Amino acid sequence: MKEKRNVLINLMIYLAMKRLLLIMGLGLSFNSIAQAATSKLDGKAIFDKNCSVCHSVMPPPKSAPPITPLASHYHQKYSTKKDGVNHLVAYLKSPNKDNAIDPQAITRFGLMPALRLPDSELRAVAEWVWDQYNPNMGMGRGMGMGQGQGMGRGRGMNQ
């Protein structure tokens, strides 16, 4: 009788362990899924870390032109994201008057310093900049506020 009970307890322990292992296994695989998701470079995070000292996203400017109007300039000049992003990456690596999208900005703010970031990060942040284009926002005039949509990307305003 006692023997039988021991077997039963052992079985229960065994089942409990198995469940525990299963849960741990699941936990591990969730972790690696989460890691895979964050290993794709986040342009916004790179911006916050490396660019937001000088650049606001929306006007008013800090010590450099805000990103949204810059993105509009880029969308006017380049018809594909690929071309726009290529120019952006090149400019971030070596800013100069000849390839500036808005030479007036240099007169107003001074030349941007070259950024020492890995290519992959430059590309991710350049893609993010390109995506900040808001068609409802005019080129600095009116800002599309009247349509009640211009503020759609208002994050960063209060920085």
Residues forming contacts to ligand HEC in the complex (CB under 6 A) are: 47, 50-51, 53-55, 63-65, 70, 88, 91-92, 95, 100-102, 105-106, 109-113, 115, 125, 129
Shortest Å, Cβ 139 to ligand HEC: 14
Shortest Å, Cβ 13 to ligand HEC: 56
Decide whether 47 or 133 has the Cβ nearer to ligand HEC: 47
Q: Which residues have CB under 8 Å from 131's CB, separation 6+? A: 43, 71
Decide whether 110 or 142 has the Cβ nearer to ligand HEC: 110
Q: Is 142 left (phi over 0), alpha (psi -120 to 50) or beta?
A: left
Q: Which residues have CB under 8 Å from 1's CB, separation 6+? A: none
- Going through the chain in order, the beta strands assigned E by DSSP cover none
Do 129 and 74 touch, CB atoms closer than 8 A?
yes
Tokens of 95: 């800013």
Shortest Å, Cβ 64 to ligand HEC: 3
User: What Rg, from alpha-carbon coordinates, does the chain have?
Assistant: 26
Decide whether 17 or 111 has the Cβ nearer to ligand HEC: 111
Shortest Å, Cβ 25 to ligand HEC: 40
Decide whether 91 or 150 has the Cβ nearer to ligand HEC: 91
